[in-house]
Structure 1
Amino acid sequence: MDTASILIGSVLLLLFIGPVLYVIWRQSLKDKKSLKILTEEGNRRNLKFDHTEVSNSLLLGLDSHNKKLVAIEPANEYKITHVDLVKIIDSKILKKVISNPSSFKDREKIMQVSIELMENSGVQKYSKILFYDEDGEDSEDVGSRLTSALKWEKLIKSSLSA
């Protein structure tokens, strides 16, 4: 091979691989920033998170020792929700669905996935953690968000019973 072929091949490789590496690098920086925000919120409340999750639409941290859950919504101006799991008696996954007019009959389209936490106070109070909203700006698919919601519901239920 001559030098020109190697040079052209290297430039073409950079043209195709470069943007992919750039996107991976930017997403990594965004995830680190989000995790730092979640960790700082935990430090303010003297919490040590056993489990964390960072996505485009939700930052979650669970301190199972202190039975505290922190949810931060980056899309909603970093709205912070603190949940004391000692006050929670039940949790369940809520799916809002509509019938899907696609070629498959009797199929439903999931519009929203959330976990609802019911408090044990005298008045029925609910906290809701939104994992997926069809109308939201999140680009993640419903399947991965539903899997995440199932995982977190299991973690929350194990913290409730412990």
Structure 2
Amino acid sequence: MDTASTLMGLGLLILFIAPVGYLVYNQSHKEKKRAKKMAFLASKKGYNLDETENTHGLSIGLDKTAGKFLLLRSAEKADLQEIDLKDLMKIEIIKIDEDEKNTQALDEIREISLLLKSKSNEDKRLIFYAEEEDPVTEKNNRLDRAIKWQKALQKYCKS
């Protein structure tokens, strides 16, 4: 009886752990694939990425010498977006609460994004945290990442 209960317990444990393990592996594999694709597309266009990061289904990279900020949303599509850092006027961190208003209180934040305002009025918005999709425990970490990228890109802004 003891052996049967143990085997049944192990079977149930594997039954519940296996899908979670698969999801973690699959997500990690997608991020690695997207990072490789970004590095390949950037080098194909002659860019040398000084800083890169995978965040929230998005790969971002910075080529300091060429003055380009690169974005890749998915590894399947080879759609590498280039933002010329010389065209940026202002970079803001937007912290939105549930009423779609800016807030500074960390507990009230529902979305954290980086707004890249360009001279040609083609603003880009990079979402670092969205409450519906990300765990609450990631909020502080994502805010730190957004601040890091704001500081890195702010050096190139021509206000």
* d(CA) in 2 for partners of 1:82, 1:30: 21
The TM-score with structure 2 as length reference comes to 0.68
What runs of 5+ residues in structure 2 fail to find an aligned partner? 101-106
Q: Which residue of 2 aligns with 1:91?
A: 91
Matched, 1:129 2:122: no
Aligned residue pairs total 147
* d(CA) in 2 for partners of 1:9, 1:108: 42
Q: Which residue of 2 aligns with 1:151?
A: 148
* d(CA) in 2 for partners of 1:141, 1:4: 38
Per-residue CA deviation, residues 9-66 of structure 1 (Å, 9 max, x unaligned), is 4323312321221111111111112112211221122122222222344221112232
Q: Among the aligned pairs, what percent are the same residue? A: 29
Structure 1 or 2: more strand by fraction? 1
Aligned letter for 1:156?
A: L
1:130 to partner: Cα distance: 2.5
8 Å Cα contact 2:113/2:126 also seen in 1? yes
The TM-score with structure 1 as length reference comes to 0.67
8 Å Cα contact 2:90/2:118 also seen in 1? yes
What runs of 5+ residues in structure 1 fail to find an aligned partner? 101-106
Matched, 1:140 2:134: yes
8 Å Cα contact 2:34/2:72 also seen in 1? no
CA RMSD of aligned residues (A): 3.5
